[in-house]
Amino acid sequence: MTNKDLRDISVIKAEIEIHQSLEKQNENYVRVEFYDMDNHEIRNDTVKVFVNGTQLDYIIKEELYYTKDYYYLSQNVSPINNKYRLEIELPNGKRFFLGEIKALRPIKKQDVLHAKKGNLDQDFVFSWKNMGDVNQLIIEKSIVTTNPKEPTVTTYNMDLDTLQINNVGSYVIPKAAKNEQVGILNFIANQTGTVHPRLLKDSKITITGELEIRLENSL
């Protein structure tokens, strides 16, 4: 889109993604992409984006098959008043509120109580507390299979279970065969914020954080 086309925020769809460490708030990155009403990328380096007053870098990244990706990026942004607030400045110098979202509350690995090994020779019981904004848990299990016709060949597969959880709780993974183990407990926080009401439909701002706990594996 030309500078003449970008006179108002109402011609823009904004997709804002923030990924933040769940242990340290200022370990994060903010990525912003803009699209027009036909869902085509807006490619205009005279548009500026700010998060908490800091200008994001305009990135042009070479992708496969001679395509390019255009987006704005900033890393390690400190939340202000526990929030990320974004603004956009159009080529005509007008600046608008773009979106706002709360920072994810920091949590600690020590608040997840679990065995060191993920053996399933008995029920695997674990619990958690003080998990802040965490609302999802992904359990990754390893499964080893052997082909009877080729006993020296083993195959490793993964099985994923996804649960919706609260910030306090417990869970039991039932006892299983010797060839199964729990490998990873991944606690995830997903939140949605507020964007300027005059942006195009489907504009959004989201924040995601993960706390990954890897268990000792003996398979």
Which is more confidently placed, 217 or 55?
55
CATH number attached to the domain at 9-105+190-210: 2.60.40
The predicted structure's pLDDT at residue 6: 84
> Is the pLDDT at 169 greater than 90, yes or no?
yes
Residue 111 contacts residue 105 (beta carbons within 8 Å): no
Looking at the chain, the whole-number percentage of residues with pLDDT higher than 70 is 96
Question: pLDDT tier at 219 (50, 70, 90 boundaries)?
Answer: low
For 107-116, how does the pLDDT look when each residue is reduced to its tens digit (9 = 90+)?
999 999 999 9
pLDDT surpasses 70 at 50: yes
pLDDT of the residue at 3: 56
pLDDT > 90: percent of the chain: 79
Average pLDDT of the segment spanning 152-180: 88
What average pLDDT does the segment 105-134 reach? 95
Task: Indicate if the pLDDT at residue 205 is higher than 70.
Answer: yes
Q: DSSP state, 76? A: S
Q: Please tell me the distance from the alpha carbon of residue 51 to that of residue 56, in angstroms, as a whole number.
A: 7
Contact 97, 50 (CB under 8 A): no
Kindly report the average pLDDT of the chain as a whole number.
Answer: 92
Hey, what's the torsion of the CAs at 51, 52, 54, 56, to 10 degrees? -10
Q: What does the pLDDT average to over 148-161?
A: 78
DSSP H or E stretch at residue 139: strand 136-147
**pLDDT digits 0-9 by tens, 53-89:** 999 999 998 877 778 889 999 999 999 999 999 999 9
What totals of helices (H) and strands (E) does the chain contain, helices first? 0, 16
